[in-house]
Amino acid sequence: MDSSYSSSTTTTTTTTTTNITTNTITSGGSSSCRNNDVGSIIALCNARAVDAQLLHNSSESTAAARLRRSYFHIRTARVCTAIAIVSAAAVALLASWQYRRIYRVWRLRYPSRVLGQQRLMCTLAIGSGSLLLWLFSPFGSTARCELCWRDVRRLDEIAMQALVLRQRYEEIAAEMSVGTERTAGGKKYEECEEMWEALMRHRLVLDDNV
């Protein structure tokens, strides 16, 4: 009777000890897994913060290059406008020379010169009109300058959003390293990742060399 009671007590104690040990190992393993997940998210946040800063720098440099290109298009448009105005003035001067009565005798005496002036008038008129059409066409300097300015505005917006993303990634990494709001930090990280993907899509539309 005593021996059976002792054996049963020993068995119960052994089972209880085994269960406690198993639960301890399981809880320790899950805690280690959570720590590993938190550490990986912190590392990803730090890496994304660096990427966001690089995206900001790239967007700023690209915006500066587009702005310089817009200044080039402005200068080109001014030069072409000046050439068109000078050509139109030359055409008007030659036309008045051709059709004034005072030069009627000269025109009759030198028909070859008159023909040369008429050809020059036509050339200047066609050149002036072509320059003006090109300036205000979708492929001209005016349209290209407006396109550069629009790209500069969009690149500035992307650069500002990249700075905001960098700050958010740094805040998430700081919160999770301290150990507060780890679940909320994971959700914030996923939201930042969605914003990052959308930002990169907009950036790649403007320039593939990112």
pLDDT for the residue 108: 78
CA nearest to 125, candidates 78, 91, 83, 86: 91
Rounded to whole angstroms, what are the CA distances from 46 to 3, 116, 159, 185, 198? 64, 74, 18, 13, 19
Contact predicate 147/23, CB 8 Å = no
d(CA 208, CA 62): 11
- Tell me, what DSSP letter sits at residue 136? T
Q: Please enumerate in sequence order all residues whose Cβ is within 8 A of that of 67, keeping only pairs 6 or more positions apart, or say none.
A: 148, 152
Q: How many CA atoms within 13 Å lie on the side-chain side of 57? A: 6
| Helices 141-178, 182-206: crossing angle, 10 deg rounding | 160
Find all residues with CB under 8 Å of 156, minimum gap 6, and list them.
59, 63
User: What confidence score (pLDDT) does residue 185 get?
Assistant: 67
Q: What is the pLDDT of residue 111?
A: 81
Instruction: Supply the pLDDT for residue 3.
Output: 42
Q: What share of the chain has pLDDT > 70, as a percent?
A: 77
Tokens of 14: 């052994």
Looking at the predicted structure, is the pLDDT value of residue 31 above 50? no
Give the predicted TM-score (pTM) of the model: 0.67
For the segment 159-177, the average pLDDT, to the nearest whole number, is 90
Contact 135, 42 (CB under 8 A): no
Most confident of 7-16, 80-89, 104-113, 115-124: 80-89
Whole-angstrom Cα distance, residue 94 to residue 71?
A: 35
Instruction: Please give the structure tokens belonging to residue 161.
Output: 């959003």
Give the pLDDT confidence of 41-92 residue by residue, as tens digits.
888 889 999 999 999 999 999 999 999 999 999 999 999 999 999 999 998 8
State yes or no: pLDDT of 144 exceeds 70.
yes
Task: Provide the residue type at 33 as one letter.
Answer: C
- State how far the alpha carbon of 68 is from the alpha carbons of 36, 78, 142, 146, 208, in Å: 48, 16, 14, 13, 19
